[in-house]
Amino acid sequence: MAKCMKCGKSTLVRGHVSLKDGAICTPCFRELGYKLTDAATSKLYTYAEITGRKQTAPSVKVANYGQARDLDCTEKEREVYDIIRSVCDDDNLDSKNIKLMRKSDSYVSAVMPSSQGYGDMDLARIKYTDRAKWIKLAPNFDKITLSSPEDVAKMAEDVRDAYRFNEPYL
């Protein structure tokens, strides 16, 4: 019966992950910061290597809290953004305040930068790909399905309302 190299308990009951020089129980393996999917390559390492590797080079998970990323958008998302700016221009709203930015992995945002320290405020969240076509407008961000980018022009009043909602924070 195999014993865990870390805690000494039976790996028969607790499950085990095989190592180059023995085995470690699955609770101890997780406690070291590994996932069970890491067990596929664990036989390549000794106990000393897996404990030392995680201690000397811990993994860090960085949370995304709406900070800007590389703008990677589709041509149709860019077209929706251009229509939003055009709608604002038609109503004499300053479309120069509106920027296209990726703050989420799931969609691009038409944002308005705040001068009052609120950061970039979403005017609209846009997703227009082969599989998903929608827009969400401030302040409620209810999902509105699009059949074409031109649908946004038909929502001109909603776009202007979203702009006016953010305007006091500019």
Task: Output b/e per residue, 92-128; b: 16+ Cβ within 10 A.
Answer: ebebebbbbbbbeeebbbbbbeeeeeeebbbbbbbbb
pLDDT of residue 34: 87
pLDDT of residue 83: 97
**Mean pLDDT, range 65-71, rounded to an integer:** 64
Tell me how far apart the alpha carbons of residues 87 and 90 are, in angstroms, rounded to a whole number. Answer: 5
Residue 91 clears pLDDT 80, i.e. is over it: yes
Residue 64 clears pLDDT 70, i.e. is over it: no
Beta bridge partners of 120: 113
- What is the C-alpha radius of gyration for the chain, rounded to an integer number of angstroms? 26
Burial grade of 169 (CB within 10 A; 0-12, 13-18, 19 or more): middle
Return the HEC string of 71-82: CCCCHHHHHHHH
For residue range 96-134, what is the model confidence (pLDDT) as tens digits?
Answer: 989 999 988 899 999 998 888 778 899 999 999 999 999
- Identify the H or E element spanning 26: helix 26-31
For residue range 140-164, what is the model confidence (pLDDT) as tens digits?
Answer: 999 999 999 999 999 999 999 999 9
| Order of strands across the sheet that contains 120-128 | 99-101, 108-113, 120-128, 133-137, 143-145
For residue range 25-59, what is the model confidence (pLDDT) as tens digits?
Answer: 988 888 888 888 888 888 888 888 888 754 434 45
Query: Residue with structure tokens 């149709």?
Result: 76
Work out the pLDDT band at 69, boundaries 50, 70, 90: low
